[in-house]
Amino acid sequence: MRRRMMRRLLRVCAVCLKEFLGCFQVYVTHKFRAAIGKTKLVRDGEKVLVGISGGPSSCALLHLIQEGLSQRAHKKLRFKPGLIFIDEGQVVGQSLEEHKVTLTRIHSLLRQSGFPYHLCQLADSLDLERVKTLNACQSNHSAVNKINQSAMDINTCSNPVEGDKGDVEISGQDENCCDLIEMNREAEKLFAAQLGSIRSISGKEDFVRALRHRLLLEFARQHGYSKVMLGNTGSQLAVRLLTDISTGRGMQAALETAFADRRNTDMMFLRPLRDFSSKEIAMYNNLHRLECVFIPSLTTMGDVGASIEHLTEAFVTGLQAEYPSTVSNIMRTGEKLDSSSAVDLESHCALCQGPLDTDVGMSSALAALRFSLEISTMGKTNGERCIKGDNSVNNTNDELCSNGVNYDAKVECCGKSDGSCRSSTQLSVPDEGLVLQTLCYGCRIVAMEMDDVNSLPEFVMKDVAWRNRRSVMKAEIQDFLLDDR
Amino acid sequence: MPLPICIEFGGGAELLFGKVKTHEVNLPDKEASWTIKDLLTWMKDNMLKERPELFIQGETVRPGILVLVNDADWELMGELAYNIQENDRIVFISTLHGG
Amino acid sequence: MWAERPRGNALCKECFFHAFEEEIHHTIVHAELFKRNETIAIGASGGKDSTVLAYVLKLLNDRHDYGVNLVLLSVDEGITGYRDDSLETVKRNQEQYGLPLKIISYEELYGWTMDAIVKQIGLKNNCTFCGVFRRQALDRGALMLKVDKIATGHNADDIAETVIMNVLRGDIGRLRRCTAITTGTDGALPRCKPFKYTYEKEIVMYAYFKKLDYFSTECIYSPNAYRGFARAYIKDVEKIRPSAIIDIIHSGESLSVKKDIRLPVQGVCERCGYISSNAVCKACVMLEGLNKGLPRLGIGKTHKERRKMQEMLQQETGAADSTPCTDQSLKSSCKCENKTDQSECSSQTYDSDNASGCSTYSKSQKCKDGCSSTNPRTVAKEKLSIFGKLKQPPSIDF
């Protein structure tokens, strides 16, 4: 309704430009406040970590927050924002020069905001986890916590100015940026190796997204933030939703596009710009002459088919141009989907933190895929053999998962169906099945694209080990459990 | 009479134009008045450095590229048919992820 | 001859056949699609999917002894230059595979061929008519054959495409239903999709290598444009990641709908007894529109439809009697005796053994449930509920 009214306003105001801009400003501000206000999720004085990539939508988000917190604002916002920038220059292989320029500009953007801010690198997500067990209990790990704390300190130190209005000059801060890179060389190398081993760009994108989420989560936890705010627009989220569906992440789709993402019980991710289109944001930025920092992505200047996300974006944008309700239809679908998430830690994906969607019956896409892999690696000798293979599918889950490993083995089929290749794969990487079990369907695809599943980030491996111990323990105490069905 | 205008790029669209954001150009003399449609053709021939398909699709701009004429959405100004005036500021902003 | 499988392995021809067939067997067994002694109607269009389906089901039924009876069921939409040719293919398949065949036509069911419909409504919404009518026609045909289930040739690509389309349209009810491998278990005739996890590409490959005889011309009436977008999209995604089709189906299977979202309740059409989420099913509304010269009825928004229908009813109030079976304009949707007699005539191609069974069925049962459910009193009462705004129940049966 509101939107339609706005349309009319836009049309009227096209005649007198000035008024139009005024209307637009009111419209955007109102919509932003309403998004935050009506959900009543952000409490007064709450510390909220705001993810700033430097791109158009996060620039607009930052500006809207600044406006909302300023004294002159009507119905002032009352939370305490802290900004975080995650440097992903390495992901896209920016040259040192370009990287420096980006960091400098981001830094001045953050510094001018007047809010506390942090700069960190995506590779930090690997480093952080090295000193931290994923176990939720904190009390009896004081030593770990200490190291952990120091690691965090290093990260915050790298911020040239903790706080605001610092008068460190840009040149000095430049050096600091480079220091930061210096400091995390090891994690960076590790990260480069992991990223490099993922074969497809779609897989890389998923991996990067998972790490980003993890880093934001961990950072917010460590620094006493209770919410994370992200600047995703409706247009982006519609693309996200469809991409999720196309990459087997249907179960997460609702979470990833909801206003409040509650996949982690202790942290809420908010998306106050989800009712805006990218176009509105671009107009807003243009209106306020906001200087965004251009952040290239893995698919910048790439073909339409560079990655699934890139393709989906082109698809949705193209469709939107012809059918203007496309984005809102997609978002409407998302709103009707269940976005509540499991409470149990063990039912989350170890990589992306989304709900585990792999506990499915024998009549499912996953089972069909497993069977397909099995039968096409086994080949045909005689009918009995195959029926036997069929039965084995029925038996254990662990075995099935390790069968998935054969995914990349280009088996020259025919006649060799003695099962030899399968057993050898199982021997060489005994943990693969276990690792894959902790991942959701979408992340399994990513993991299987890697050369070695065991080279997944430390935090995933820790989680795998923890879950394994838990299941062993559970098995041991099985007899003593009273109400275990 | 050449027609001086200002063309700006944002959101990654500048990558296709030599990474330069602001271009002050003089559109060459032409009998009929300049429309955005003419401008796009002219840009394609004279300014686009690479991957024209990432900017132009058919006769119009690729979906996802926002066009503003003096800060107003071009949809309100007649889109391709808009008659360009002297010193107009025409902005092309990519709203696509990563440009 | 080698076949690169979408799931990452290269197989030789023999192994590909084996893998292809066993995967379908796996699906059938684990989804419990068939029970011993059931009669299964294979929806046969003469196209690649249904041809391969008929071939594979027959093969697997013999190989793994499912103990089911298979019959072919074709719908003749009445599209000259398309369906008449493809039906020839089905007739050849009938001989090749030794399966009985029943052809049911729009003309006999509804009194309209697609050619005639297109003549009246043009090429814009013709696919909507065809889709709605076909769904029912298949069920009607299956009822005549007294089968227990219908197996259709919907493949993984079709299902993935439907998932994407329903997301784009925001159709949550369909989105939830469209990945079910068996539908209509609650009352109506169940339908199943043995090819749910089978890639279209592999079906074509299988048909090609097996040199199966199928008909591969596009329908002469233009296909649904919006669906075309979804199809192009999934094909592009598949190019990037070959497993994407199955990934999309997995997504569809794992979507859960919020508890407080109201989904349309599946009821039964009070006119024809067919499953419907409205009081009167779409096919009946559309048919009514065709017969009354208002072909747009049933295409636009539901509330507009209702209003039009209401107006129409008001005009005709008191003009006709309320017995459904005697109204000639209604013959197509009514399950009364004269109707089934007509359909009998066109089933010459049907295997003679079953033909007798068919005729006994149509004479006795059909009229019994068809007409008993539409006794004038209940019709009038229920109509009140659909056209709630009407002050008086319309005396005409539309």
Report the Cα C397 to chain-centroid distance in Å: 26
Per-block mean pLDDT, blocks of 10 residues, chain A (485 long): 47 48 82 88 91 92 92 81 88 82 88 86 73 31 35 39 36 42 70 90 94 90 90 94 95 90 89 93 89 85 88 94 92 87 75 87 86 73 38 37 38 40 38 86 92 86 87 83 58
**C-alpha–C-alpha distance, residues B80 and A368, integer Å:** 51
* C233-251: pLDDT as tens digits: 999 999 999 899 999 999 9
* Pair (A379, A278) in one structural domain: no
Q: Which of A286, A304, A339 marks a domain boundary?
A: A339
C-alpha distances in Å from residue C174, one per residue of C177, C252, C335: 5, 11, 28
Residue C59: pLDDT band with limits 50, 70, 90:
very high
- Mutate which of A97, A201, A294 to test chain B, going by most B C-beta atoms within 10 A? A294
Give the least confident one: A318-322, A416-420, C194-198, C214-218. Answer: A416-420
Highest mean pLDDT among A168-182, C113-127, C259-273: C113-127
* Pair (A67, A181) in one structural domain: yes
* Pair (A54, A89) in one structural domain: yes
Confidence check: pLDDT of C75 > 60: yes
Confidence check: pLDDT of C36 > 80: yes
Both tokens of residue A160? 């040239």
- Mutate which of A309, A413, A416, A444 to test chain C, going by most C C-beta atoms within 10 A? A413
What's the number of domains chain A is made of? Answer: 3
H-assigned helices in A277-414 = 278-287, 308-322, 326-336, 365-378, 383-395, 397-403
Answer with the residue of higher pLDDT: A75 or C145: C145
- Residue pointed to by tokens 């509304």: C285
Q: Taking CB atoms and an 8 Å limit, are A21 and B15 in contact across chains?
A: no
**C-alpha–C-alpha distance, residues A463 and A348, integer Å:** 10
Q: Which chains reach chain B with 3 or more Cβ–Cβ distances below 8 angstroms?
A: A
Q: Taking CB atoms and an 8 Å limit, are B15 and A301 in contact across chains?
A: yes
Phi and psi (nearest 5°) for A259? -65, -45
How many CB atoms neighbour CB B35 within 10 A? Answer: 16
Could you tell me if C197 and C27 are in contact, meaning their C-beta atoms sit under 8 angstroms apart? yes
Quote the minimal CA–CA distance from B46 to chain A in Å: 20
* Pair (A185, A334) in one structural domain: yes
Q: What pLDDT shows up at residue A483?
A: 61
* Pair (A119, A216) in one structural domain: yes
Please indicate, yes or no, if residue A330 is contained in any of the structural domains: yes
SS3 C42: strand
Residue C206: pLDDT band with limits 50, 70, 90:
very high
- Residue pointed to by tokens 């005539």: C345
Answer with the residue of higher pLDDT: A425 or C192: C192
In chain C, CATH 3.40.50.620 sits at 2-254
Q: Is pTM beyond 0.80 here?
A: no
**Minimal Cβ distance to A321: which of B12, B63, B72:** B63
CATH superfamily of C2-254: HUPs (3.40.50.620)
Q: Taking CB atoms and an 8 Å limit, are A296 and B99 in contact across chains?
A: yes
Phi-psi region of B74 (alpha: psi -120 to 50; beta: other; left: phi over 0): alpha
- Residue A12's domain comprises 1-40
**C-alpha–C-alpha distance, residues C130 and C196, integer Å:** 23
Q: What pLDDT shows up at residue A96?
A: 80
CATH number of the structural domain B3-94: 3.10.20.30
Give A160's DSSP letter: S
**Minimal Cβ distance to A308: which of C32, C240, C251:** C240
Whether C233 has its CB under 8 Å from any CB of chain A: the answer is: yes
Phi and psi (nearest 5°) for C123? -95, 10
Highest mean pLDDT among A234-243, A460-469, C296-305, C318-327: A234-243
Q: Which of A339, A355, A380 marks a domain boundary?
A: A339
Could you tell me if C86 and C74 are in contact, meaning their C-beta atoms sit under 8 angstroms apart? no
Phi and psi (nearest 5°) for B81? -85, -5
**Minimal Cβ distance to A236: which of B14, B73, B97:** B97
Residue C307: pLDDT band with limits 50, 70, 90:
low
Chain C partners of A360 at a C-beta cutoff of 8 Å?
253-254
Please indicate, yes or no, if residue A35 is contained in any of the structural domains: yes
**Minimal Cβ distance to C164: which of A245, A376, A410:** A245
Residue partners of A130: CB distance under 8 A and separation at least 6: A151, A187, A458
* Pair (A324, A187) in one structural domain: yes
Q: Which chains reach chain C with 3 or more Cβ–Cβ distances below 8 angstroms?
A: A
Q: Taking CB atoms and an 8 Å limit, are B95 and A20 in contact across chains?
A: no
What are the respective helix, strand and coil percentages of chain C, to the nearest 5?
Answer: 55, 10, 35
Q: Taking CB atoms and an 8 Å limit, are A369 and C253 in contact across chains?
A: no
Chain A partners of C9 at a C-beta cutoff of 8 Å?
373, 376-377, 410-411, 413
Answer with the residue of higher pLDDT: A352 or C346: A352
Exposure string for B13-24, b = 16+ CB within 10 A, e = fewer: bbbbbeeeeebe
**Minimal Cβ distance to A357: which of C26, C249, C254:** C254
Please indicate, yes or no, if residue A359 is contained in any of the structural domains: no
Could you tell me if C317 and C392 are in contact, meaning their C-beta atoms sit under 8 angstroms apart? yes
Q: In this complex, does chain C touch chain B, defined as having at least 3 beta-carbon pairs under 8 Å apart?
A: no
- CA-nearest residue to C198 within chain A is A368
Q: Give the strand order in the sheet containing A227-229.
A: A117-121, A80-87, A47-51, A227-229, A267-270, A260-264
Burial (CB count <10 Å: 0-12, 13-18, 19+), residue A105:
middle
> What are the extents of the domains in chain B?
3-94
- CA-nearest residue to B16 within chain A is A301
Handedness of CA A97, A98, A103, A105 (dihedral sign): positive
Answer with the residue of higher pLDDT: A99 or C383: A99
The vertex-A277 CA angle with A271 and A283, nearest 5°, equals 115
Confidence check: pLDDT of C325 > 50: no
**Minimal Cβ distance to A330: which of C167, C196, C249:** C167
Tally A–C CB contacts below 8 A.
190
Whether C378 has its CB under 8 Å from any CB of chain A: the answer is: no
Q: Taking CB atoms and an 8 Å limit, are B98 and A295 in contact across chains?
A: yes
Q: What pLDDT shows up at residue B38?
A: 92
